[in-house]
Structure 1
């Protein structure tokens, strides 16, 4: 990827907006282009955290294997996101694996350069701190949801988060604009594939969502919000 094109791509990302061109060029000298096909792994849980990344194109999912051997989808990585920042959390190994859900392109830097990025670019440091804080807050929210909310409410919240982060308006409604399966939703919400399939089928009959193979569209956002808030919907099942 030509350097000028790379500079143009990252210059508009929040993490890099305040950096002058000379600083961008200096940063890009040590960057490597990382191309991932659908299903490729950027790094595995437990590996030494030797790199950190910025996603330029595509989508990735962050998955973690629990001590009991269950797989959990922790979150999704969207274009512009920084990921693999174990160094920012004072960790020497990646706490989860990151897998491409579609063809994706990222830039990778050696983790040894993280401190230099932080010290030389105050806005980058602020954004990194906010990112770590947001991920901790999201983790706390998910723990609370698993402890206090019914499955239907958790699934509604998960789908709403995805539409908020990666929703695309279409004639059908708001499309989650990357491939996502019912199993992924189950692993995000601590439930089973059977339960998610049953809920999505019921919601489809009520006109709330439309789903197919690796595809989810929210047809009635307001009703899904009501479900996520624990309120009864105005659309009863037939």
Structure 2
């Protein structure tokens, strides 16, 4: 569906579009399309030609990569306002990973031929893209370091803290990760096994740290999870958004 039919009020709350006038926004959307993704639908798959790039407007997506030996890794989650599918920025002709919806989602996309024009005409888009590429490089470095130096319990604690920082919502029980997530997902994020994740979450549940049900995880003690994440490590583990949610 052509994106120019979208009401501007749906786009203005996002950092990417906030500074644009109505005329500039109309110009940016001239060649864009909207995509409605139901849970399990893919925006694109690993290895496909990188013909479009995207911005998520609503919902949550996960980025999944298959390794040469057949293992599946969850690289990250995509939140509203995030740019994704930016193979063009990395000078790649194809997508290095697949992107799937974990809940009903709406995304905008542009043909890859529009990349240079948007960068030149939209300073916010250019700045956001640069920040996105830099953040992903930093995330990759952090993940390699965690896999090389940290125990499984630390890695899982850090993964949960990152998720509640990005998508935490306050509930009477604690801070819930605001999209469906399974124990298998956490195993694929942290380079461990489903059995190990299940054992640790059961232990944490008995200690009152988390509540874990089917596709739903609530962190009941953010401070204790931070302590576990920082155990025997000099690297700080933050959960600013989660702690603010608990105070609210």
**TM-score normalised over the length of structure 2:** 0.91
2:211 maps to 1:210: yes
Structure 2 residue aligned with 1:235? none
Q: Which residue of 2 aligns with 1:50?
A: 51
Q: Per the alignment, in what secondary structure is the counterpart of residue 153 of structure 1?
A: helix
SS in structure 2 opposite 1:179?
coil
Partner of 1:152: 153
Retained in 1: the 8 A contact 2:120–2:126?
yes
**Contact 2:56–2:106, Cα closer than 8 Å, also in 1:** yes
Are the counterparts in 1 of residues 4 and 32 from structure 2 also a CA contact under 8 Å?
no
**1:200 is paired with a residue of what secondary structure?**
helix
Task: Within 5 Å, give how 1:1-238 maps onto structure 2.
Answer: 3=4, 5-230=6-231
Q: Distance in 2 between matches of 1:231 and 1:176?
A: 26
Within 1, Cα distance between the matches of 2:145 and 2:187?
A: 17
Q: Is the 8 A contact 2:60 2:77 kept in 1?
A: yes
Change (3 A) 1:196 1:125: same
Distance in 1 of aligned mates of 2:168 and 2:161: 9
How far apart, in 2, do the equivalents of 1:146 and 1:42 lie?
28
Q: CA RMSD in A?
A: 1.4
Q: 1:65-104, CA deviations, whole angstroms, 9 ceiling, x for partnerless residues?
A: 0111100000000111111111111111100000001111
Distance in 2 separating the partners of 1:6 and 1:202? 47
Q: TM-score, normalised by structure 1?
A: 0.94
CA shift for structure 1 position 156: 0.3
- Structure 1 runs of 4+ aligned residues shifted over 3 Å read 1-6
Deviates more, 1:99-108 or 1:195-204: 99-108
In structure 1, list runs of 5 or more residues that go unmatched.
233-238
